[in-house]
Amino acid sequence: MAAPLCLLFRHSRAAWLFALIASGTALVISILLLQQVLATGLISYALGGWQAPWGIEYRIDTLNAFLLLIISSLSTVVLLAADTSISKEIPKEKHSLFYVLYLLSLTGMLGIVATGDAFNVFVFLEISSLSAYALIALGSDRRALWASYQYLIMGTIGATFILIGIGLMYQMTGTLNMHDLSNRLPEVAQTRTVFTAFAFVIVGVCLKLALFPLHLWLPNAYAYAPSIVTAFFAATATKVAIYLLIRFTYSVFGFSFSFTALPLQLLFVVLGVLGIFVASSAAIYQSNVKHLFAYSSIAQIGYMIVGFSISTVAGLTATLLHLFNHALMKGALFLALAAVMHRIGSVQLSALKGLGREMPLTMAAIVAGGLSLIGVPLTVGFVSKWYLVLALLENGWWPVAMLILLGSLLAIVYVWRIVEVAYFQPRVGPGELSKDSVREAPLAFLVPIWLLVIANVYFGIDTRLSVEVAQTASESLFGLSQ
């Protein structure tokens, strides 16, 4: 979690190595943490020696550890490809800056997840967001600037909302420690202030989350950011926001309060399902593949929200699983797109013509990721869909289950548009530029891409790890709140 050192490296390669090492270390630490948490339960670390309710506490339970693992592993894998990818998309002199920002952003995300202090969440949120705005603005297209600006406005509003919410909570309880908050909030649960605080926090988080209809910033931000950044954010950023949502509703405010105080359940189901449909339909009509997958991300967030809103152990397990699985598939997809970008300099759908022949491994990865998005068996997408539908049925929500499955049909449509273009159209149409032969992506891309694809399949077949962790995490959340 130490980043700024990176600034010292003027040379980009060195910065890359350093970033890789830092991220890798974070990965190792988070694996160890997860093991330890699974074995012993809570770990807490009081920063600066102040004890829990007063000082800032880092508190790791299964949920955090799981998220830490997702974020650090994805970041490491993405970084593997970063060096090659940014060499084309970002001017040389900015390389070390890029890694600084990247690591800052990573720090922010890990911090959000690890901290047990509500205000600290805000600080880390801003750290990661600010570096995210800057990262997006590094995109080569000038629209990246505009996208970044929009994101900045929306993000800041969201963060400020959270800040207000936290302030109100503090006012009512006099504490900022999450665990402490959850103990003290029930006493004052029926006051209007707490309702307001709750509403502010939820709306703020949903902005960050890009929950439909607060998603407008996301597609542009994803589409115009440097490809590697997109891969990183798509796999991690929204996950962190989901984590916050879960953390606040389940742990801090407590399950019973969250779901009885406001018609949250209904609201989230409706928004989730709407999100799935609207975003998937939007994805179908995109001509830029990055846009397409960005919309698909919004749709996938919809799935997670639906799982979340079921508010049973099974539902939450499904959400957490999907969190993990979606990180895997989107990571693979966007990395593959980065490779395409690297080779042909465009991710317009029309530019992908015939690529199935020129870059077979990369396109195969996209197909595999796409299948996972659809939820074809033997991929992770299927696992999460299975659990989600099962959770829905458990609650007797037949229509929603049906709608969710229908939603995945839309995924077939947009994934298949890519497949058809890539495999069934000739590379060079008549009268166009003659053969500028495109080679397969360099190894630096292929290794991380296929790592993720294999993870996609592996966790689609052997779900023990992910399911177990997700299940313990959600059980512990319910244990905390009841």
Chain contacts with other proteins (rule: CB under 8 A): 119, 122-123, 126, 130, 133-134, 137, 142-143, 145-146, 148-149, 152-153, 156-157, 160, 163-164, 167, 170-171, 176, 371, 374-378, 383, 385-387, 389-390, 393-394, 401-402, 405-406, 408-409, 412-413, 416, 420, 423-424, 461-464, 467
CB of 94 to other proteins, least distance (A): 13
CB of 100 to other proteins, least distance (A): 14
Helix (H) and strand (E) counts in the chain = 19, 2
The smaller minimum CB distance to other proteins, of residues 299 and 371, is found at: 371
The smaller minimum CB distance to other proteins, of residues 268 and 459, is found at: 459
Residue 476 in contact with residue 320, Cβ under 8 Å?
no
The smaller minimum CB distance to other proteins, of residues 76 and 372, is found at: 372
Tell me which DSSP letter residue 441 carries.
P
Beta bridge mates, 177: 117
Residue 42 in contact with residue 61, Cβ under 8 Å?
yes
- Residue 357 is which amino acid? R
CB of 107 to other proteins, least distance (A): 14
In order, the DSSP letters of 155-210 are: HHHHHHHHHHHHHHHHHHHS--BHHHHHHHGGGGTTSHHHHHHHHHHHHHHHHHHT
Q: Which residue do the tokens 């292929």 mark? A: 446
Q: Return the SS3 of 335.
A: helix
In order, the DSSP letters of 25-62 are: HHHHHHHHHHHHHHHH--EEEEGGG--TTTS-EEEE-H
The smaller minimum CB distance to other proteins, of residues 263 and 426, is found at: 426
CB of 446 to other proteins, least distance (A): 18
CB of 139 to other proteins, least distance (A): 11
Residue 119 in contact with residue 148, Cβ under 8 Å?
no
The smaller minimum CB distance to other proteins, of residues 258 and 408, is found at: 408
CB of 468 to other proteins, least distance (A): 9
- Check whether the bond before 448 is cis (ω within 30° of 0): no
The smaller minimum CB distance to other proteins, of residues 24 and 167, is found at: 167
The smaller minimum CB distance to other proteins, of residues 361 and 376, is found at: 376
The smaller minimum CB distance to other proteins, of residues 264 and 411, is found at: 411
CB of 456 to other proteins, least distance (A): 14
Of 307, 240, 187, nearest to 75 by C-alpha is 240
CB of 11 to other proteins, least distance (A): 25
